Structure 1
Amino acid sequence: MSGQMVLRCTKTGRLFFSTAEATEHAEAFGKEYANFDEVGLDHKVWVAAETGRVCYTEADLQKMKVRDPDSKTWEEKTVAYLMEMQKKKDVAIARKEKFFSSVDQRKLELMISAKSLGKTRSAKALHFTREKGTIEAAEAWLEENQSLPDLDKLTDAFVEEALASLGDVEMPDAHADVDMTPIDDRKIGDPNPPEIKEKINQDLLKQVMEMGFSEVRAEKALYKTDNASLEYAVNWLAEHAEDADIDLPLLKPPPPAPVKPKMSKEEAEAKALELQKRLREKRAAEEKEKEKEKEAQRKESTKLMAEAQERAKEEDRRRAIEQQMREKEEHDRHRAELKERLRQDYIDRFGCEPPEEKEEECVKEKTSKEQLAFHLNKLKKTYKDSNAEGLKTCLNTLKIYIKNLHENPLEVKFKKLKLDNKAFQSRIVPYDGALDVLDVLGFEKKEDCLEQRKSTPDGFLCGQAIKFIDLMLGQI
């Protein structure tokens, strides 16, 4: 213990038990916090009995008493005490890590990452099912013991028992590290150690004892006040008169740590600059990694948004088609009802069925599909024998118009057919029935074009028209 170096930050007074801790402190806070002094093991600190908080200076102690009301009892300790406490913590941590190392690391990693289970409960499950040696057995154990209150806690008692069951109770140098504090066998009436006595001012000791204080108390007071003066010693005795150990001798002080040369100002500045450089590089690397993650998240978000928009558009198209179908069915039903009323009207007036309508007039009362078939058949009957090539050209041109509309229902350019277009004038207009086909499909005449009257063309009707035309082309 005597060979360990303890550093104190000249800026904050905080203590560090290794150069690694001091370096981390300097990296975190900068150049002003990179200067350190070495302190002895008998350097005073104050520890809260309730919370374990540590104050390194009396000024910090007074501030902490105000800030932290939970820490009520502050005990004066030394650096040596803090080191012993830290060693005990390190040993406990090492034993817990040894327990984690005792289970199958590959299975432990799988349970943590793939199964999303906690490290402690996963290690416990693997430990208790080590004879079976499978993840399934470990998961079954967790299922049976999920109500255990300390399932996610790794207590010292459990670690001791677990390592004992593995036949490995002791760790190398574990007890040597933990039990470094000398046995306290002091008794009232024993003198103070020689190492204490030799530091006492004998003149002041005589004056204090003449005031009625015992030698042990007088020596303790002078030792604690660094032989400052008779007044300081008496005040200390007054403050500690009710202490339970006031008449016990002081413990033998630990040997002083070897004095090492301090860094020069130039060396300290160079060290601080080096630490700051490493810190900047580390932060830059972290920022770069964060930017990569943000960019990946942005791309994924954009992709998901585009997919959602496409699904929304498709849903809108589906709803529009369904609405058109409902409107068409309602129109056909209304038309049939009107026709039936007219027929009944005629019978009521003349006492007989009305005369049959001409085929051309009756076709308007049929469904759109039936009208489409009628006009295409009319084209076939009229021109199959007299102008077969012209009929093929007309049908192929109609197929192109309808196919463009069917495959691109939202494209404006396919919803208009220019009347002065040469191909339209030569391939469509001369053939009786071709314009009727376009009318059934929703094209109506405007000033200079035929324009689709529906916002979304009837995809079903377009598909039927293409099938009819293909069938007719195969028969010509």
Structure 2
Amino acid sequence: MAQSLVCNDCGLQLKSVKEATDHNEATGHANFAESEEKVVNMVCEECGKPCRNKTQQDLHSKHTGHTKYVDKTNEAAAPMDTEAQMKQVRAEQDDAPAKSSAAEDAPLIEPKVNEDLLQQLQEMGFSRNKALRALHFSGTDNMEQAITWIMEHEEDPDLDQPLLLPEVKEKPKLSAEEARNQAEEVLRKAKEKREKEERELEKVREADQRRATKELMAAQRTDEEQRLKRNVEERQREKQEEARARDKIRLKLEEDRKERRRKLGLPEELSEEEKAAERARLAESAKAKPSIGLSVKPVSLLLQMRAALVDMKKVNPGKDEQLKTCWGTMLKYIGNIAKDPKEEKYRKIKLSNAAFQGRVSSLYGALKFLEVVGFQQEGDFLVMPAEKATADTLNAAGGELNNACTNPFFGVL
């Protein structure tokens, strides 16, 4: 039994006589044949839209971005009872109200068919009504197909009745100007639709870019935090080893002191008078040292800045020019803040700014340096709070950036 109908004019597969009727009204194609092939039914997993061929899938994916489909051809396929469906369509057409008063008033005439074939069928002994119905409903210009149709419909009660259909008037042809205007209107609508789709795709791309930037920054912060944690743990181990070494030296010195006193016949421990004299000597020594006024720099913060810049040099090998551009750009940010720390616009950097992404954030470690200086992420911006924009911090950051830009051996030794 047939699984589908195929339009021999355009090759489209149709799953019912009703679809074939609609296709005929839309395109004028009338040459249909039964087929044992099932109508393809590829269903989009994301929105449920069915697609019958690769072209429909490609168009749907282009407009929506959906790419996953499920083959439900076998689930939706069902054998076709062509005769029953044709009778149902004819009944619906007979019962349907006229679309307009003009259609109701249209005169009934015999449909136009191939007159030569009609004459040949009559000469073979078929009545004019049977031959006319066979040629019209089969939509064929082939003698064998017309005879086959008559044989298959021998039981139809109306097979030998006259076939009269409303006269269909041809649509008036458009003038050259009207056709041109219609074509321009179609092109205009297509252009508007394409521009709308491009705007929507651009919004999706921008959202993806912002998400990717945030994910990249989060990954960089995680890496930096882990590296800093490892450095802190390593420094703690070094301090513990240094403390153990100092304890060993102190114990050794103390043992040597006791040994010298034993050789001199003195008690190992100092007497109270000796301890008092030692304290007095240390006090006099402290008074003798001149006091020099020095400005206290943020040593710990300075070391973190230098370490961040050195790490940038190490993890970005062969990118000396890009590093200089990055450091120069950050130096300009710091300089602007130093000139006017109260100006908010100098203390804000937009993460999605193309220049910032190309010169700064594209290099691993740059965002970590800015965080060390005092910048914090707030939405789509890096912001330095006013209380962190101190002269000591800005001067230290500027000095380290200037050294990185001008010292050819920076990060090497």
Q: Do both proteins adopt the same fold according to a TM-score greater than 0.5, normalized to the shorter chain?
A: no
TM score, norm. by length of structure 1: 0.34
Greater CA radius of gyration, 1 or 2? 1
TM score, norm. by length of structure 2: 0.38
